[in-house]
Structure 1
Amino acid sequence: MNQKYQVLQALAESKVVAVIRGESAEEATALSRAAIEGGIRAIELTYTTPHVADVFRALESENVLLGAGSVLDAETARHALLAGARFIVSPYFQEEVAVLCNRYGVPYLPGCMTIREMVRALEAGCDVLKLFPANSFEPSFIRSVNGPLPHVKVMPTGGIHLGNMKDWLDAGAVAVGIGSDLNKAYRSGGHAAVVALSQNYTRKSVE
């Protein structure tokens, strides 16, 4: 199995991807470490976080799959790969990012909302598509998409929480992206609150 599909398999096995947005590199690092302690095995470090490369360096020794999110162009994608990202995520499909990721055998998960966008991303070599924002859809949307496009794999992100994540997974989501819950937990209860919430997500994903 090549490196790209090893990463895709790891994402599918993790079921939960923590989307980390920090107001600083220090906050993002602390959030990530708490999520990892709580059992989450896949972390998406967003490029909206200041000095995000420092977060990649801080986490490079952790036994976790690191990816980059909020990637808007090929230059940022290349920076992320050099920083240690093993998958790239963006809020919409960007052809130049797809070309770069294909060149280096790295999974690219672009945000898609329509069948047209999904087909375009598939034709560009994307294996998993991010449904974003997922709170604009119902979990049954995946089955509707899989009618005409049975091979499409979807990772819903945006509006995913403990109350609906299992619905999405049961509907066929390859994994779910969570984020705002972690930030709220961190700001209200710090490290321990994020660890506890991450444990709940991890348990829920295997029920």
Structure 2
Amino acid sequence: MMKNDVLTRIERTGIMAIVRVETIERAFEIADGCLDGGVDVLEISYTLPNAGEVINELTKKYRDQLLVGAGTVLDSETARLAILAGAKFIIAPNYNESVCKLCNRYQIPYAPGCTSVTEMVQAMEAGAAMMKAFPIANHYGPALVSNIKTAIPYMPIMASGGVTIDNIAAWFKNGVDCVGVGSLLTKGSSAKIAKNAQLLKEKITAFRSVRKKQ
């Protein structure tokens, strides 16, 4: 899958499930729930030591049904291991130049966490594919995205933290390209996850439908 294809799929889905699991079986349950609800993009966090194995097993089982990437990638060594395990994109809470270079080398989209417009522009100039507004999105809310995009409308932005079923439409109204969602898409049964995913997707679909008519 080409870099631009990955980005297009992330933006089309609009929602990325942020997953931290200790077992492969639980990862499958979460993946099944997300897919049933219309969310086909999962970020597997490297806060747990089995992240590479989870990425590999999800990729083998679901193939093109699921777009699986790696999160909390702090250094280029971890990024390379994640890519070898099958990660199709790399997410981080910080910007790291060596990770950016490595991802560009292998044509893997990289979304670093940035806390200022200056940092976002520097990361974008270095080749980062999408900016992760982290942790500032959780503190400032949806209006943050509008403020950034007023000055830099062509900057792809992912918001992580503070996204709910009630406010997800507001994030997209303010210009976000993708949102990262944790507990709503990772806690409870597969059926509960599927219901939450469906509700989130319905909000985005409704907003996009109205915007097309404007």
Deviates more, 1:37-46 or 1:86-95: 37-46
- 2:122 corresponds in structure 1 to 120
Deviation (angstroms), 1:116: 1.5
Measured in 1, the distance between the counterparts of 2:58 and 2:116 equals 35
| Equivalence for 1:39 | 38
Question: How far apart in 2 are the matches of 1:64 and 1:10?
Answer: 10
Give the TM-score, by structure 2 length.
0.88
Quote the residue 1:142 is aligned against.
145
Bigger drift between 126-135 and 144-153 goes to: 144-153
Counterparts of 2:45 and 2:170, CA distance in 1: 25
Structure 1: give runs of 5+ residues left out of the alignment: none
Tell me the equivalent position of 2:50.
51
Q: Which runs of 4+ in 1 moved over 4 A?
A: none
3-state DSSP class of the match of 1:40? coil
Q: Secondary structure at the match of 2:163?
A: coil
TM-superposed CA distance for 1:44, in Å, is: 0.7
Query: Could you tell me which residue of structure 2 aligns to residue 180 of structure 1?
Result: 183
* Unaligned runs of at least 5 residues, structure 2: 207-214
The normalised TM-score by structure 1 is 0.91
- Number of residues of Structure 1 aligned to a counterpart in Structure 2: 202
Cα deviation for residue 191 of structure 1 reads 2.0
Deviations 1:79-117 (A, max 9, x none): 110111111000010111000001111100001121111
Please say if 1:21 is aligned against 2:20. yes
**CA RMSD, Structure 1 to Structure 2 (Å):** 1.6
Sequence identity percentage = 37
Q: Check conservation: 1:24, 1:49, Cα contact below 8 A.
A: no
Match of 1:104 in 2: 106
1:157-195 per-position Cα deviation (integer Å, ceiling 9, x unaligned):
112111111100111111111012233x41xxx222112
Report the equivalent of 1:160. 163
Q: Residue 68 of structure 1 contacts residue 85 of structure 1 at CA under 8 Å; is this kept in 2?
A: yes
Shift in Å at residue 38 of structure 1?
Answer: 1.9
Distance 1:173 1:37 in 2: 24
Shift of 1:31: 1.7
2:74 aligns with 72
| 8 Å CA contact retained: 1:26, 1:55 | no
> Aligned partners of 2:191, 2:150: CA distance in 1, in Å?
43
